[in-house]
Amino acid sequence: MNLDLTAQDVEFRNEVRAFLDKNLTPDLAAAGRLATSVFIEPEFTLPWQRILHARGWVAPHWPKEYGGTGWDEMQRYIFASECARAGAPGLSPMGLGMVGPCIIGYGTPEQKAHYLPRILSGEDYWCQGYSEPGSGSDLASLQLKAESDSDDYVLNGTKIWTTHAHHANKMFCLVRTDPAAKPQMGITFLLLDMKTPGIKVDPIITLAGEHELNQVFFDDVRVPKSGRLGAENDGWSVAKYLLEFERGGGSSAGLEAVLARLQKHVHSDSNSDMALVRRIGELSMRLEAIKTTEQRILSDLTSGQPPGPAGSMLKIQRTELMQAIDEAGVSSLGAHAAPYQPDAWQPGANAPILGPEALVTGMARYLNNRAGSIYGGSNEVQRNIMAKAVLGL
């Protein structure tokens, strides 16, 4: 694959840079640089999403007929890289990256007409109702009950690790509609309103001290059957389709930006340990390999097709590289990796010369991203998928 930029690519890159220079405000850029996970508070992401939506650039990976850009693989790579380089806040992946493509693939014409424009504009902010206590990587064992009652389902049970449920006004949710069927055969995929009576959201504070996760309780919650995506009891097929987008969507552009800042610090510090310098070089080579893999599957995403087992490969590679970069970042900070080290903000006898972003986010990123090899299906599960789907084992 040729990753060299053509004259047209350079022209497009300059167009993106000019757009970012004009529209990315200092507050939005600061929010992007201070991010400790892929989820940033909607007070920053939604204004940026509206700016991108107005320009027609909010969903580069969607088919053009549903609001995508029509860009080729290199243009999407350039756009993601330039946004990351400039510190643009990443948009919430739940709507644009996950349920949106799923609605394109499985939704009725009415569902597409209703939901897709609202996802693009940010009017609807989504969360994911998949995991339950005792049903994480073994997702097919989920027990949230949905009983049919005329034109509604009545939900009782709970979901856990629900990212940004305290912000979301919509949820895509897996429910148990046939408890007598085999685990995968009795599940239905629902789209529901978080303001429906009977829904309660309790916060879960992470080890990093952040409120990103929640547990959601359902007490006789009535969800119209018109919110069902796909057929009743065939939600497992929809869920697997969505998970391929979750695992294979996005890009390594954010990792590239973080690694570039880490490289700059390590190479500028005359006291840097040579083992750490070599380690950074090895991480750079791994990143180049991932970027090439991403380029190979981007065309499938843009045509609305899931990435298949390549999504599992990318999920493993990205999350494990992310954790390795975090570990190297904490090593480079040394004693100043603690959450609050005010003496490290200015050069001193024992303090590194670092910007505030590294000091505020270094340890928080490390703690938050430990979950990266678990969420979206643990990396052990992804290796099983690859063994079966790719190697035929």
C-beta of residue 174 within 8 angstroms of C-beta of residue 130: yes
Residue 237: both structure tokens together? 């097929």
Beta bridge partners of 219: 156
98 forms beta bridges with: none
Kindly give the interhelix angle for 253-268 and 73-86, rounded to the nearest 10 degrees: 50
Rounded to an integer, what distance in angstroms lies between the CA atom of residue 188 and that of residue 193?
16
Instruction: Classify 268 as helix, strand or coil.
Output: helix
**Sign of torsion, CA 47 51 53 57?**
negative
Is 246 marked active-site? yes
Tokens 């897996």: give the residue. 174
Residues 6+ apart with CB under 8 A from 331: 276
Cα separation values, 90 from 94, 153, 154, 216, 233, Å:
12, 34, 35, 25, 34
- Selected catalytic residue, list 82, 212, 246, 294: 246
Q: What whole-number distance in Å separates Cα of residue 108 and Cα of residue 103?
A: 8
How buried is residue 128: exposed, middle or buried, by Cβ count under 10 Å (0-12/13-18/19+)?
Answer: buried
Query: How far apart, in whole angstroms, are the C-alpha atoms of residue 60 and residue 69?
Result: 5
In the beta sheet, which residues pair with residue 210? none
Residue 317's closest CA among 260, 364, 362, 255?
A: 255
The Cβ of residue 366 has, within 10 Å, a number of other Cβ atoms equal to 22
Alpha helices in the chain (DSSP H): 7-23, 26-33, 42-55, 73-86, 93, 100-106, 109-121, 235-248, 253-268, 274-302, 309-333, 356-368, 379-389
Q: Which residues are tagged catalytic?
A: 246
